[in-house]
Structure 1
């Protein structure tokens, strides 16, 4: 039993490392589509608790270590955590990878973008300290749909890439074993 927990935590650590390393390497300004790729892949074998832990830990690591992310700190968390949860949740309901993509789209692309606008208005206003550029951003973000185009496009790009990766992974016996490892844990612990 302890061996399975160590195995799950090891896989979680690997997914965190991959997400943390790949997201800044493959990105378009304002769109972290590799984060969507990792959320969707994690959604197909992890439990919601592990997927949310992955997204949250990566967001905190990015805030603390990547220069541009600190200026939009809440976006790193709000953008990834709901998507990770819903990607896992919808996959668990249907066992279809496309539903993991749908969960990421709904969680990050729609919910995350809509929640981000008021949070970022507050964050930029609070942290501006008289900086006109930051106050200008806060003013622009007062539209609820300010972040939606970038978040939606990131989930569409990330989803297409994730579907291609998952298509290849479905032939891997080890990947199939991962889902069983996490599902067995979820059933026993009620998660």
Structure 2
């Protein structure tokens, strides 16, 4: 196994665990902003595929250990992937935030509706039912991630940390 793949696996496990712990102990009704905080950090350090896997692991832990609904998975993976994709394409932190908010706040919210109807008996409402809940949560968490990453960038530690992961 390549050394950089092992580093990415370890960082993915650490971030997924942090996402689970933060989402468990710092809880807001119908919101998981720390999932989105971790998604933005994973997007920058790991990219779209590993970021997706990190969000998937966190969501599965939240479902298995806390009894969360499938929203814990669906509400995170699209944003994590899009965040990593946009960051990789533009190499600007703000695009990781944009990807997280659009991916989670809009796309995941819309995708979640049919799953919630099928598995949890959600009454027939609008396909946009979850958008008002997902956008503020993803925005708040993504901005927290942005602030941390911006501080690392300003102190010139962000590029050093990223290069250690790649070498």
Unpaired runs of 5+ in structure 1?
A: 126-137, 186-191
1:180 corresponds to: 163
Distance in 1 (CA, whole Å) between partners of 2:135 and 2:5 is: 35
The one-character-per-residue Cα deviations of 1:76-99 (angstroms, maximum 9, x if unpaired) are 111000000000000011111110
1:178 shift after superposition? 4.1
1:120 corresponds to: 116
1:159 shift after superposition? 2.0
Distance in 2 (CA, whole Å) between partners of 1:90 and 1:123 is: 32
Distance in 2 (CA, whole Å) between partners of 1:20 and 1:6 is: 21
Superposition CA RMSD, Å: 1.8
Unpaired runs of 5+ in structure 2?
A: none
Please identify the structure whose Cα radius of gyration is greater.
1
2:139 corresponds to: 156
1:20 corresponds to: 20
1:181 shift after superposition? 5.5
2:101 corresponds to: 105
1:6 shift after superposition? 2.2
1:36 corresponds to: 36
Which of 125, 129, 139 matches 1:142?
125
The one-character-per-residue Cα deviations of 1:6-59 (angstroms, maximum 9, x if unpaired) are 222221111111111111222211010110111011111212111111011111
TM-score (norm: length of structure 2): 0.91
Equivalent runs, 1:58-73 vs 2, <5 Å: 58-67=58-67, 69=68, 72=69
Distance in 1 (CA, whole Å) between partners of 2:95 and 2:34 is: 18
TM-score (norm: length of structure 1): 0.80
| 1:4–1:181 CA contact under 8 A, matched in 2 | no
Which of 148, 151, 167 matches 1:168?
151
- Divergent runs of 4+, >6 A: none
2:31 partner SS: coil
Distance in 2 (CA, whole Å) between partners of 1:116 and 1:49 is: 20
1:165 shift after superposition? 1.0
